[in-house]
Structure 1
Amino acid sequence: MTPVGLLIVSHSARLAEGVVEVAAQMGEGVPLVAAGGTDDGGVGTSFEKVMDGIVAADTGEGVVVLTDLGSAVMTAESVLEFLDDEQRARVRIADAALVEGSVAAAVASRAGAGLDGVVRAAEEAVRGAEAEEPPEISEPSESAVLTLKNPLGLHARPSAVLAGRLSAYDVQVTVNGVDGQSVMALMALGAGQGQQLVVEAAGPDAAKAVRFVTAQVEAGFGEL
């Protein structure tokens, strides 16, 4: 599976390129495209740049568009009207802070999250943003009790790895009672080295989800 692409739309070409540069540090291999400024190099947005950017960023799994101001959203929405139904179904405009959302989206995409999972990561990136309630799992079909081994515990990168991949599964999953498909909810646990994670899952991919979390925790998220 190829990663979901990201299109950064800004009124400034330099700002869009800068956000791409920052997000690329956390999202190696993720298609990141800047669409900043007007066609003549001025401040503003360009229909053509956004259209070309969507095409360039979409490698088959779709594109999440992040914008800096309301008029950039309007430009992106105008472009969507000119896409065919198949293309339009693979594009989402995230209601997210540009820098924080782009970084979180890049991490989630790199971790294997699908289109909806990447949008969710972007929109929950700013601390204090309202997150969805955790799923109610009255009778989990799969569960595990794990102990964090990596020195920094469940910090931003491991949280994004878990939420990103779990978002791609057909599963309801909680970790210590919070939504396992939410980057911000996992980070908010503040779970450090030596602390336990109680993973509970239900749904068609429940066993796969618990195995994935177990493998990541046992491997120390590659940080040992």
Structure 2
Amino acid sequence: MTVSIVVVSHSEKIADGAVELAAQMAPDVMILPAGGTDDGRIGTSLEKVLAALEQAGGQDSGQEGGQAGGAGVAANGTVVITDLGSAVMTAESALEFLENPAGVLLADAPLVEGLVAAAVAAQGGADVQAVRKAAEAAGGPAHPTESAASGAVGPVTSAAPDSAGDFELVNQAGMHARPAAKVAGGLASLDAEVSINGVDGASMTGLMTLGAGKGTVLHVEAWGPDAERAVEYVGGLVEAGFGEP
């Protein structure tokens, strides 16, 4: 069983659409929408969020009318991804009603990019902390070499990489959304900082800004305990064409 994901949006259509998109890349992950109000208006619903969290984690909210016989948070946990500020407040309020909220983590991430990256990480078997990290990394800066004064974060280092490699894209579409999500999601679960052609390898958005088409050579550099695994992971995906033609 993988980590589950709950999407909280002010719009039911946005939540449903984002879940539909992510499910295409992570068919084995439970991804649940909690969008809009109970009567179909724009807004958030505590009841909808609670219901999704209960279904995702198999637990009782403790509220009258909540699911009976909750077994506590599922061992693999749940990551919650929201759109706007008040959605965060609704999600936080919902956690207060759960019997055991410890395995439910809120991710500070962009809704679509964060959800896709989190779903891919969960599909790959990452734990709940790594899934949240993958979601949050999707909102990172496109270029990790930006100055610290700009608030940028990423694998900025002057030290020689612990591992490196060059891999030519062989799939027809190159580094589009699905490959970028696979790379970012997998790297986010590793203990390594990775740069791919100068951008943060754990940032789905950053990878997509490369505009790397078929035939582009990706130069991968990695630092940290899992550096070699990170380079091998990227190389394996690229050489397999990300499972695409």
Q: Same fold (TM over 0.5)?
A: yes
For 1:110, the equivalent position in structure 2 comes to 123
Instruction: Give unpaired runs (5+ residues) of structure 1.
Output: none
AA matched with 1:67: T
Matched residues, percent identical?
50
The Cα of 1:69 is off from its aligned counterpart by 4.4
Please tell me whether the aligned partners of residues 171 and 205 of structure 1 are also in contact (alpha carbons under 8 angstroms). Answer: yes
Q: Hey, what's the Cα distance between the residues in 1 that align with 2:9 and 2:154?
A: 32
For 1:55, the equivalent position in structure 2 comes to 54
Q: How does 1:95-174 map to 2 (within 5 A)?
A: 95-96=109-110, 98-99=111-112, 101-112=114-125, 114-120=130-136, 123=139, 132-136=153-157, 138-174=159-195
Please tell me whether the aligned partners of residues 27 and 106 of structure 1 are also in contact (alpha carbons under 8 angstroms). Answer: yes
| TM value normalised by structure 1 | 0.79
1:197 aligns with 2:211: no
The Cα of 1:176 is off from its aligned counterpart by 1.2
Please tell me whether the aligned partners of residues 104 and 122 of structure 1 are also in contact (alpha carbons under 8 angstroms). Answer: yes
For 2:34, the equivalent position in structure 1 comes to 35
Q: Hey, what's the Cα distance between the residues in 2 that align with 1:165 and 1:31?
A: 18
Q: Hey, what's the Cα distance between the residues in 2 that align with 1:154 and 1:14?
A: 28
The Cα of 1:92 is off from its aligned counterpart by 1.0
Please tell me whether the aligned partners of residues 111 and 160 of structure 1 are also in contact (alpha carbons under 8 angstroms). Answer: no
Q: Hey, what's the Cα distance between the residues in 1 that align with 2:117 and 2:3?
A: 13
Give SS of 2:93's match. helix
Give SS of 1:81's match. helix
Q: Deviations over 1:61-86 (max 9, x none)?
A: 332323354433222111223446x6
The Cα of 1:157 is off from its aligned counterpart by 0.9
Please tell me whether the aligned partners of residues 64 and 119 of structure 1 are also in contact (alpha carbons under 8 angstroms). Answer: no
Please tell me whether the aligned partners of residues 61 and 115 of structure 1 are also in contact (alpha carbons under 8 angstroms). Answer: no
Q: Using the TM superposition, name which of 63-72 and 177-186 deviates more.
A: 63-72
Q: Provide the aligned C-alpha RMSD in A.
A: 3.0
For 2:93, the equivalent position in structure 1 comes to 78
Change (3 A) 1:100 1:143: closer
Q: Hey, what's the Cα distance between the residues in 2 that align with 1:139 and 1:132?
A: 18
Q: Using the TM superposition, name which of 111-120 and 99-108 deviates more.
A: 99-108
Give SS of 1:91's match. strand
Please tell me whether the aligned partners of residues 36 and 45 of structure 2 are also in contact (alpha carbons under 8 angstroms). Answer: yes
Change (3 A) 1:20 1:195: closer
Q: How many residues are matched? A: 217
Q: Hey, what's the Cα distance between the residues in 2 that align with 1:147 and 1:12?
A: 40
1:216 aligns with 2:232: no
Q: Hey, what's the Cα distance between the residues in 1 that align with 2:138 and 2:121?
A: 9
Q: Using the TM superposition, name which of 140-149 and 114-123 deviates more.
A: 114-123
Give SS of 2:172's match. coil
Q: Deviations over 1:96-146 (max 9, x none)?
A: 3x4555445434443555223332255469xxxx86333325121111111
Q: Hey, what's the Cα distance between the residues in 2 that align with 1:134 and 1:209?
A: 13
